[in-house]
Structure 1
Amino acid sequence: MPDEFVARSLEEVRFWSRIMKEHSLFLKLGFRCEDTQLINEANQFYAIFETIENRAHAFTLGTDPNTIKRFNEEVHIAVSHIWVFKRKLLGLILTCQLPGANNFPLLVDHVSREANYFRNRLSELNLGKLEPLPDAIIDENVFFLRIMADHAKFISHLLDPSERKLVEQANSFSHDFDQLLFQAKDLESMRPQSQTLPLLDQFLDQNRVSVKSLRDFKKTARDLIQACRIKSIIHPLLADHVFREAEHFLAIIDMFEYSLTGNAPVRESNTIE
């Protein structure tokens, strides 16, 4: 449906363009002072995705679907370019050409996976070929469970080592989400036989509980970091960034739950600043 295409496209671009913009900032903060070319490239991507984000918010649900389709194509090109930049950066790090820089290889791989996810979603929207619900439930959860596991690892490694209790909590979340990811991969390899309503419903319920717990932990960490109440090298915007991604994952789980069963889970309200 044209209206649904416009709504889904704007939702995806508004969310992910902000994520891409912030990735540019976080990567820049991890470069060395002498990495002027990489810093300039990151600044350029920040400006590109800030413009995309602003344009996306200027469109309305009544915008001509053909206009949105062309916009999606433009965004796809920009996302492909930042994906190439991120993979180039990963190669530089893994071949020890940026000694002393502060971007973890896993973090760079992580943000490149998100860029690839975004551009694939844009292609699916424009082609009108979204996955069948059972496949989408498994594939989206496999993707986002790994994202959440990564976040826990990043938080653990960016907290000051003296914040022993928080580091322990982050490591515990890392382990839990690794296990959830392994379970999701098992369900993935068992399909289509595994794609029954009871199994998929339980899959969503179990993941929702764990994502809510991680979301709440991220919110607490974000608030403590913003108030300068804990010791870390986590940028306040990064703390909010990972919180928003957990919220996004929960919204996807709830959408799947409604599509699968017709039941709309009750979500508590959270203010995202």
Structure 2
Amino acid sequence: MDAFVARSLEEIRFWARIMKEHSLFLRLGFRCEDTQLIQEANGFYAVFEGIEARAHAFTAATDPQQIRAFNAEVHNAVSHIWVFKRKVLGLILTCQLPGANNFPLLVDHVSREANYFRNRLAELNNGRLEPLPDAIIDENVFFLKIMADHAKFIGHLLDPSERKLVDQAREFSNDFDQLLWQAQDLSSMRPQSQTKPLLSQFLDQNRVSVASLRDFKKTARDLIEACRIKSIIHPLLADHVYREAVHFLAIIDLFEQALTGQAPTPLPAAH
């Protein structure tokens, strides 16, 4: 099995679906008169649906050069959706979409994920790996911010009368803000902070909180799908944020295995 091919397909299968769903969520937040933006979002949905299907059609035995070309093509598509997302953010922040339902932080959030995906594809094609200690810190800084954002979105999209769940979401938001600040502190202390004991404790602590948030998201997703709680959260959005928590946990586990020499170093993302 070619590691470059396997990693490329794994990344594209996961993130192309995420980009496709971002297109849907943005479209749902536009006003009915925003026909041009709706049309653009629908176009990106179709593009990433096609990319996702093609990624599943390839196998680990596919010629690496074919995958290298595919990565470059996907990189181009992701660059375009990143530009679209930043354009939408600019429109919102200059009050040109009054009454629309996309939070500025949500649009920034989905653009950060597009940039992450774009950097990963470039790194794959360039064959450039970060040292494991840097990768551990950079990946966690990125995903802890993503998880903190998710908790804030859930808290704001639940109906205010769901007081207990809103409180739980706020607690997760505070927890992940603290973890993010800790990660940024560890980052600023580099390279002296990059000892195996400190990095191992860092991963252990983050795993506990991410696992708790994953369970909360799963419960919320199941309740939303069963129409048992009041919210304006689309069931697909609930599943979307749950899948990202699962993905982050898998990355933490890979890093811990690599740190203890039990597995090859996972490919980190460039930021």
Query: Normalising to structure 1: TM-score of the pair?
Result: 0.95
Residues 146-175 of structure 1, C-alpha deviations (whole Å, 9 max, x = no match): 000000000000000000000000000000
Summarize deviations over 1:58-83 as a string: whole Å, max 9, x none. 00000000000000000000000000
| Structure 1 residues 86-121: Cα deviation after superposition (integer angstroms, max 9, x where no partner) | 000000000000000000000000000000000000
For residues 263 and 104 of structure 1, the distance between their equivalents in structure 2, rounded to whole angstroms, comes to 42
Distance 2:217 2:129 in 1: 31
Following superposition of structure 1 onto structure 2, how do residues 8-87 of structure 1 map, counting pairs within 5 Å?
8-87=7-86
Q: SS where residue 52 of structure 1 aligns?
A: helix
Aligned-residue offset at 1:130: 1.8
Unaligned runs of 5+ in 2: 264-271
Distance 2:262 2:154 in 1: 34
Aligned position for 1:99: 98
3-state secondary structure, aligned to 2:2: helix
Equivalent AA in structure 1 for residue 187 of structure 2: E
CA distance in 2, matches of 1:160, 1:67: 48
In the TM superposition, what are the counterparts of 1:183-198 in structure 2 within 5 Å? 183-198=182-197
Q: How many residues align?
A: 263
**2:149 corresponds to which residue?**
150
Structure 2: which amino acid aligns with 1:253? I
Aligned to 1:163: 162
Instruction: Return 5+ residue gaps in structure 1 as ranges.
Output: 265-273
Structure 2 partner of 1:253: 252
Secondary structure of 2:227 counterpart: coil
| 2:136 aligned residue | 137
User: How far apart, in 1, do the equivalents of 2:202 and 2:4 lie?
Assistant: 28
Q: Does 1:122 align with 2:143?
A: no
After TM superposition, list the pairs within 5 Å mapping 1:233-272 onto structure 2.
233-262=232-261
Residue 43 of structure 1, CA deviation:
0.1
Q: How many angstroms apart in 1 are the aligned matches of 2:111 and 2:130? A: 22
> 1:267 corresponds to which residue?
none
2:180 is aligned with what amino acid? Answer: L
SS of equivalent residue, structure 1 residue 26: helix
Distance, in Å, in 2 between the alignment partners of 1:147 and 1:56 is 25
Separation of aligned partners in 2, 1:58 and 1:263? 31
Task: Give the deviation of 1:263 after TM superposition.
Answer: 5.1
Name the structure 1 match of 2:2. 3
- Larger RCO of the pair (alpha carbons < 8 Å, separation 6+): 2
SS at match of 2:96: coil
Distance 1:132 1:69 in 2: 23
Q: Does 1:202 align with 2:201?
A: yes
Distance in 1, Cα, partners of 2:52 & 2:22 = 14
Equivalent AA in structure 1 for residue 205 of structure 2: Q
Q: Distance in 1 between matches of 2:250 and 2:66?
A: 27
Shift of 1:262: 3.3
- Give me the TM-score of the superposition, normalised by structure 2: 0.96
Residues 1:216 and 2:215 aligned together: yes
Letter in 1 for 2:32: C
After the TM superposition, list the runs of 4 or more consecutive aligned residues in structure 1 that deviate by more than 6 angstroms: none
**2:174 matched to which residue of 1?**
175
Query: Counterpart amino acid of 2:71?
Result: N
Distance 1:37 1:192 in 2: 48
Residue 90 of structure 1 aligns with which residue?
89
